[in-house]
Structure 1
């Protein structure tokens, strides 16, 4: 019994142990299975998320990564050119460079590298010191380096020198710089036409993709995106570069000779209002102001033709009517009006040609202030010319209600009114072209980068001011002024010039300064078919000679003579044997000889040269001129000399004159053609 019982107990305990082990094993299996399932689920979740990131959201994350590491570098647009009316470059794009030395990358001694750069371009002392003390990185050495200089430095130094390009501007000529202006350091127009035409010239910048590494260093990835820059448009001006050069030279010469403190010379086409040249010189050094546009002044006697035009239009005078000019002195209220020369009587036409202040003041009483004001206003005084570019003044013309009893006489002789040189030249243009005031033009057309014209600016009449008949009558009187009046020094025989001189007292701090004057001449040529208006103003000349007829008129004559001898400039097509071909723009200050055969216009001044007087006095008496020896002269000098003899010129050479036909000493009739080689 006992033995059986012990055995049974042992069996029971064994069964219980197996059951416990089985339970533990089952528990482990459940745990393992659960963990496996959990890990599987987690792995599937990670795989799903990874797939979502790499497949479904890949573009979004790629874009985010690019946004964090990508940047864009600006690609500046090439700025458009500014051209004259014949396509000659006045302003053009240029690429300049800043030079950097990476001192740790140099294979030569840094002192040697600095000296190498200094042998090509100037290096400031402070930059030398900064580079000598630099422990690493890039150091700026020089700025404003040309492409040719860049190549030389790269070839000489090699590793360790870097260049950063920037857009710059090149001005092949110094002419017209006040008008053209300049570009700022940011590549945008800063002054003058560069600023006013910036919307056309600037172009559209491009951009190129760069990437940043973990240290924020930029690099250019392969296949990067590049949006190319669009170049700016070219602007074609109405200016003629040769006439602008002539005007600036003659103005500089006149200022130096007379001691005047500043002045203007304006040349324009009265038929179209196109400004052919505008030279303004100021002694205060201001380059951002153009006195011919921004500085109004009292015109003096150059305003008298507009009084005559008003009187004729109203039908209250006859040109041959005689006016009592009181011996040259007239008292108007508390004021005394006087003439330089005392005359007892003058015809109306001679009141203008002899520039009688007394006669003009007396004639002004035939117009009411309202009528006198209306004509001055219609001629463009007191109103901006609507040039559209650059800063210009409207001048001053008071309303007639505010005039005093002295105002009509003052306005008749060019006081109590102010005008800019451009306003005055345009008003004379209205007389020259038959009575129509034209809006001035400085821009002819806009061309896109391919050369296609995208906008053209046509001549724009403002209003008809006087009839063609009245304009013709006034032109005849102004021709008489130059032929036998106060403007004889502006005249050229065989080439009729019309115009009017002016000598006005100079106001300083609100009162007229004793002994200080403004000399001027405004006219046009040829008188019977005007193609060019010329205005010359000289402010405060020194030396005791200050009359407009004495200093402004001869400056105008010299300008017209130079214009007649200029290559390709047709002041009077009737005097041109055949049209000159445009010649390439050279790098010389004075126009040299063009290629091929060119025919120059003749000014026909009839003023014989000294050589002609010595060798051909008898020929001159017979209406002939003796041909001088022109060998060795420049094309311009030879042409000007022959024009002075009333001869036409055909140029077939290069450089200076090597030969001529007919031979020196030959007797020729005025208007004959001389061939130069």
Structure 2
């Protein structure tokens, strides 16, 4: 071979070697690029093809009333999912569409379109179906159709305390009320379920599965008392039906702690079926007017002007001629009251006396007491809304503004501010932070965190508070508030009316009417407020709410076994609750009414359980709530159990018997069981607390 040929061959080999080297370098670069820079992305894509990663919602905590009755709870409710590729391979799209549209009550064409949409690996068809629907779908064993565990929120009493409890989205996120305020506490921590799947999304036989268990949320225990709330809502609904105002609000406050025992806004709405399609209507329905909407308090605000004047030893006498000019501005009164002291002026709703007294106090002193009573700032209530109201900044207030504010005009406050401020006078001068939540509980209903009463400050001296309380007692006994008198009890109270506004415009022909009533007289505990917004103007505006406030206060006193002031009435009004469990509805109703008790029915059919329990001693006229067989709500029916007879048992044996019956157990004392509540052999809901009294048995030598 010649030298030239050898050189040509070598050159060719070199070129080939260079080309191969370049190709190898390019290939290695490409492999390196996909491995180093796109590796995680490719792995994620691959995992999506051969795994299904589904979020598993935590069970949202329940909402209880103060006696641990369930107001809101979450329950399992499956979601229907479709795997279109599996359906396409099985050729059962028509069957899937026919069966699921029938069971789920959906348009067939919608189901068919989703079942044949092979561009998507999985499609959720319908969320949170009923147990019956879930069982029927599972029994069909349709290829390409699966059920995914989901959680649905149930509100057992439908519209009960609807603006207080609030509601959630379908995903379980609190939107209003307690559901929103305590959302992070209630929702818990989400889990995950990762399973191996084939390319078409179907399961792999003996495939691997990884489950990260969700962490359930804590439960919220309200200060609300279910019985007090029912009493308040019934009265407010009656007022709404009788007088047709735009809305009605009601509040029951424990003046010794600031706890809200009942809070009602009428009209209400069904929390299980909120009108989600009409956002404007839903937003309007959801407002808790008591905490969120400020209003002009009007003449009733004079009680705070009086309290400030008395505490400063400045209470005087003032002459009302129907109008007065302060700092160039005319202030009018509804009547000519003549000369009167400030206590008489408050009872007579005299705007002139209140304005002149406020003018005498002066700007600095008035604003000092506005702050002391909590006006112009948020109350601190543990709720999703808490307006500070609308009180003019001190530096901008003229002399006329100061006078008008003393008469409850030219300012706006919330109803919870008014009730809380008045409660401070009734308890001797202590202003508490109002509360809607008692504490938090775990998934077993055990209290894990309890909130204590919070003192914000002192409003007036106990001596001044006592004198104003006596004035309020006199207002009910011999003043304009006689409609609120309760036989056997000394009741105090006040009424008032003010302008009704549409935005910033006062509405002609409409008013706001409020009535406050409290008892017991010696050591007040319960303060009831009832307000009618947008009621037709009339002479009885000040006291239109009085009969309804009276009804609420009377029923609460009796249901809480508060003894009447009169000794004769005290002994005459006691009665023993009959046992009506198992009776037909009308028979049970007649039995209780014949015993001097009122009846509240929850459902129809035969009686499953009753509150208060049989053999408990209560005051005549108390309300007995009957839990019936048939419920109007589709929420899960509570499982019932029979209360064991614990008589003679040791604490250990009694606890075992209670747990075996599905009951919560509370032991009082030591020794052997001598008494119990509820009584033995009663039918109650599982989870009910049974309290057993134990006493030591001592053998005495003869």
**TM-score, normalised by the number of residues in structure 2:** 0.68
Which residue in 2 is equivalent to 1:563? 556
- Once the two structures are superposed, residues 441-483 of structure 1 have per-residue CA deviations (whole angstroms, 9 ceiling, x without a partner) of 1111112224443321100100011111111111111111222
Which residue in 2 is equivalent to 1:89? 70
1:281-300 superposed matches below 5 A: 281=266, 286-300=284-298
In 1: Cα distance, 2:508 partner to 2:307 partner: 32
Which residue in 1 is equivalent to 2:134? 150
Alpha carbons of structure 1 residues 73 and 512: separation in structure 2 relative to 1, 3 Å: closer
Which residue in 2 is equivalent to 1:315? 313
Which residue in 1 is equivalent to 2:393? 399
- Whether the 8 Å contact between 1:273 and 1:459 is mirrored in structure 2 is yes
Is it true that 1:269 corresponds to 2:228 in the alignment?
Answer: no
Which residue in 2 is equivalent to 1:458? 452
Q: Which of 361, 364, 369 is equivalent to 2:363?
A: 369
Q: Deviation at 1:198? A: 1.7
- Whether the 8 Å contact between 2:191 and 2:214 is mirrored in structure 1 is yes
Alpha carbons of structure 1 residues 231 and 250: separation in structure 2 relative to 1, 3 Å: same
Q: Deviation at 1:107? A: 10
Is it true that 1:130 corresponds to 2:113 in the alignment?
Answer: yes
Alpha carbons of structure 1 residues 374 and 282: separation in structure 2 relative to 1, 3 Å: farther
Q: Deviation at 1:92? A: 0.4
Q: Deviation at 1:429? A: 0.9
Which residue in 2 is equivalent to 1:243? 228
Q: Deviation at 1:494? A: 2.4
Q: Which of 534, 546, 553 is equivalent to 2:528?
A: 534
Which residue in 2 is equivalent to 1:666? none
Which residue in 2 is equivalent to 1:201? 186
Q: Deviation at 1:263? A: 3.1
Is it true that 1:170 corresponds to 2:154 in the alignment?
Answer: yes
- The 3-state SS of whatever aligns with 1:189 is coil
- Whether the 8 Å contact between 1:517 and 1:540 is mirrored in structure 2 is yes
5+ long unaligned stretches in structure 2: 1-38, 269-280, 582-599, 627-677, 684-702
- Whether the 8 Å contact between 1:489 and 1:549 is mirrored in structure 2 is no
- Once the two structures are superposed, residues 482-530 of structure 1 have per-residue CA deviations (whole angstroms, 9 ceiling, x without a partner) of 2222322223232222222111123445454433321112232223221
Q: Deviation at 1:433? A: 0.8
In 2: Cα distance, 1:489 partner to 1:426 partner: 24
Q: Deviation at 1:305? A: 1.1
Alpha carbons of structure 1 residues 125 and 552: separation in structure 2 relative to 1, 3 Å: farther
- Whether the 8 Å contact between 1:379 and 1:427 is mirrored in structure 2 is yes
Q: Deviation at 1:117? A: 4.7
- Once the two structures are superposed, residues 511-557 of structure 1 have per-residue CA deviations (whole angstroms, 9 ceiling, x without a partner) of 54433321112232223221111222211212x43744331222212
- Equivalent pairs, count: 544
Which residue in 1 is equivalent to 2:57? 76
Q: Which of 215, 239, 246 is equivalent to 1:254?
A: 239
Which residue in 1 is equivalent to 2:547? 554
In 2: Cα distance, 1:564 partner to 1:351 partner: 30
Which residue in 1 is equivalent to 2:468? 474
In 2: Cα distance, 1:72 partner to 1:155 partner: 25
In 1: Cα distance, 2:306 partner to 2:102 partner: 68
5+ long unaligned stretches in structure 1: 1-60, 605-633, 638-650, 656-677
In 2: Cα distance, 1:178 partner to 1:654 partner: 34
Q: Deviation at 1:159? A: 6.2
Which residue in 2 is equivalent to 1:28? none
1:486-635 superposed matches below 5 A: 486-508=480-502, 510-542=504-536, 544-545=537-538, 547-564=540-557, 566=559, 569=560, 587-588=602-603, 594-601=612-619, 635=624
CA RMSD of aligned residues (A): 4.0
**Which shows bigger deviation, 88-97 or 280-289?**
280-289
- The 3-state SS of whatever aligns with 2:217 is coil
- The higher radius of gyration belongs to 1
Which residue in 1 is equivalent to 2:303? 305
**Which shows bigger deviation, 332-341 or 249-258?**
332-341
Which residue in 2 is equivalent to 1:641? none
- Whether the 8 Å contact between 1:301 and 1:355 is mirrored in structure 2 is yes
Which residue in 2 is equivalent to 1:348? 342
- Whether the 8 Å contact between 1:353 and 1:484 is mirrored in structure 2 is no
Which residue in 2 is equivalent to 1:615? none
- Whether the 8 Å contact between 2:54 and 2:192 is mirrored in structure 1 is yes
Alpha carbons of structure 1 residues 515 and 75: separation in structure 2 relative to 1, 3 Å: closer
- Whether the 8 Å contact between 2:577 and 2:613 is mirrored in structure 1 is no
**Which shows bigger deviation, 525-534 or 289-298?**
525-534
Which residue in 1 is equivalent to 2:431? 437
Alpha carbons of structure 1 residues 588 and 311: separation in structure 2 relative to 1, 3 Å: farther
- Whether the 8 Å contact between 2:92 and 2:143 is mirrored in structure 1 is no
Alpha carbons of structure 1 residues 593 and 456: separation in structure 2 relative to 1, 3 Å: closer
In 2: Cα distance, 1:216 partner to 1:327 partner: 86
Which residue in 2 is equivalent to 1:33? none
- The 3-state SS of whatever aligns with 2:360 is coil
- Once the two structures are superposed, residues 135-162 of structure 1 have per-residue CA deviations (whole angstroms, 9 ceiling, x without a partner) of 9997766443112331134336766653
- The 3-state SS of whatever aligns with 1:396 is coil
- Once the two structures are superposed, residues 426-451 of structure 1 have per-residue CA deviations (whole angstroms, 9 ceiling, x without a partner) of 00110111100001111111122244
In 2: Cα distance, 1:430 partner to 1:395 partner: 19
Q: Deviation at 1:384? A: 0.1
- Once the two structures are superposed, residues 340-375 of structure 1 have per-residue CA deviations (whole angstroms, 9 ceiling, x without a partner) of 443333343222222222222333343122111111
- Once the two structures are superposed, residues 618-646 of structure 1 have per-residue CA deviations (whole angstroms, 9 ceiling, x without a partner) of xxxxxxxxxxxxxxxx9579xxxxxxxxx
Which residue in 1 is equivalent to 2:672? none
Alpha carbons of structure 1 residues 547 and 108: separation in structure 2 relative to 1, 3 Å: farther
Alpha carbons of structure 1 residues 344 and 143: separation in structure 2 relative to 1, 3 Å: same
Alpha carbons of structure 1 residues 132 and 408: separation in structure 2 relative to 1, 3 Å: closer
Which residue in 1 is equivalent to 2:384? 390
- Once the two structures are superposed, residues 206-264 of structure 1 have per-residue CA deviations (whole angstroms, 9 ceiling, x without a partner) of 23342355667654855644332221111111111222233233223222322211232
Is it true that 1:226 corresponds to 2:211 in the alignment?
Answer: yes
**TM-score, normalised by the number of residues in structure 1:** 0.71
In 1: Cα distance, 2:95 partner to 2:214 partner: 39
